[in-house]
Amino acid sequence: MGSPPPSSQSSPAGAPPTESTARLAPSGAAFLRRIAGSREFSVVLVIAFICMLMPFTDARDTFFTQRNTQNILRNVALVSVFAIGETLVILTGGIDLSLGSLIAFTGMVLALVVTKLGVALVPPAAISLGICAALAVAITVGIIHATLVHKLRLPAFVVTLASLLILRSQAVLLNNQLQIPLQDYPGLLWLANGNFFADSGFPVPVPVVVMLVVVVIASIVLNRTTIGRYIYSLGSNETATMLSGVNIYRVKLFAYGASALLGGVAGILWAGYGGQGDPQAGNAYELDAVAASVVGGASLMGGQGSVLGTVFGALLLMVIFSAINLTLSNPNIWRGTVVGGVLLFAVLVTAFQQRRSMA
């Protein structure tokens, strides 16, 4: 029998491939190259390398235990929540340095409202009103930031640095420098210390579920909505975005408002985690947020970054912190060195990649 006639989709020998064939042939390889060249993949490799080193250190008996793994996941979730908010602002070309102080302030607002109302209301009602008050305060702070940055053309660095100082001072003044205990409200403590599937082989910390919800929502907003495209566009070229008819103020309101809102969520979680409203909570956490964002691929110039990259950046920081906690006798004094070193390394890597792409 003769060979079957060529189909209408095949190309004759020696002829150039059709457009569809040319597009499909390299797609798999191109996808793998894109994944391998991404910042997220690089961060995962670094995390894997650190984990491979752990069996050869003094932490070999404790690092991979279920308890330590859950602690790492819980801390990653707590940091990722407000670091994702930081990423939204960085994508617009701005920065939010107030997040650490906002965490302390909203935690104190929560604790103050809950304890004051807890005398007259049942605990669930007091907790609900306290959470609403903390989030309302946080959103108000974000609106103020966006308004000052856009309407008055003040630098985001200066505006949020001033908020860092003001909010920290107000957190201290709210209860005369004293913490506000929350031990009588176990429902609030459960938000940060509780677990889903507590009777299973590997319980899932509640903050991890909160983080996953935030990750899904933020990813959809950035990748599937108009406001997400505007955020990237604003960070890439604000003038061109404005000339195309985009309301820049609304975009900044969304970014700074979402950042402050997630800072408020983190403040609620940290208050529950520590079992108290603490005016000193969140000290220097704004640097952790910036570090997680930049390590995950966000550019401080704006227009570049991802939610998943930020989560991986937070995971890298928490893995390193866990490693030094288990191997060094006084790990706290190394925290600044770790965050600063990782941040500087990430910026150097970004600069190298940009120069290579321009070459």
**Percent with pLDDT over 90 in the chain:** 71
Distances (CA, A) of 350 to 47, 260, 272, 294, 300: 18, 27, 36, 9, 10
pLDDT digits (tens, 9 = 90+) for 163-177: 999 999 999 999 999
pLDDT at 260 over 90: yes
pLDDT at 183 over 70: yes
**Mean pLDDT of all residues in 261-278:** 97
- Structural domain contains residue 2: no
pLDDT at 166 (0 to 100): 98
pLDDT at 223 over 60: yes
Query: Residue 153's closest CA among 65, 86, 94?
Result: 94
pLDDT digits (tens, 9 = 90+) for 289-322: 999 999 999 999 999 999 999 999 999 999 999 9
Q: Lowest mean pLDDT: which of 39-48, 105-114, 182-191?
A: 39-48
- Structural domain contains residue 307: yes
pLDDT at 33 (0 to 100): 73
**Quick one: pLDDT band at residue 23, thresholds 50, 70, 90?**
very low
**How many residues would you count in the chain?**
359
Instruction: Return mean pLDDT, the chain.
Output: 89
- Structural domain contains residue 50: no
- Structural domain contains residue 33: no
pLDDT digits (tens, 9 = 90+) for 74-107: 999 999 999 999 999 999 999 999 999 999 999 9
**Quick one: pLDDT band at residue 359, thresholds 50, 70, 90?**
low
**Quick one: pLDDT band at residue 13, thresholds 50, 70, 90?**
very low
Distances (CA, A) of 142 to 113, 286, 316: 21, 15, 28
pLDDT at 105 (0 to 100): 98
pLDDT at 335 (0 to 100): 81
CB-CB neighbours of 237 under 10 Å: 14
- Structural domain contains residue 11: no
**Mean pLDDT of all residues in 223-233:** 97
pLDDT digits (tens, 9 = 90+) for 24-62: 445 677 777 777 767 788 899 989 999 998 988 888 889
**Quick one: pLDDT band at residue 283, thresholds 50, 70, 90?**
very high
pLDDT at 22 (0 to 100): 46
- Provide the 8-state DSSP code for 304: -
pTM exceeds 0.85 for this model: yes
- Rounded to 10°, the helix 307-327/66-91 angle is 140
Residue predicted with more confidence, 23 or 213: 213
- Rounded to 10°, the helix 307-327/285-295 angle is 120
- Structural domain contains residue 47: no
Domain enclosing residue 248, as ranges: 81-358
- Structural domain contains residue 18: no
- Structural domain contains residue 9: no
pLDDT at 18 over 90: no
pLDDT at 24 (0 to 100): 43
How many distinct structural domains can be found in the chain?
1
Whether residue 322 contacts residue 63, with contact meaning beta carbons closer than 8 Å, is answered with yes
Q: How far apart are CA 90 and CA 77, in angstroms?
A: 20
pLDDT at 15 (0 to 100): 46
pLDDT at 306 (0 to 100): 95
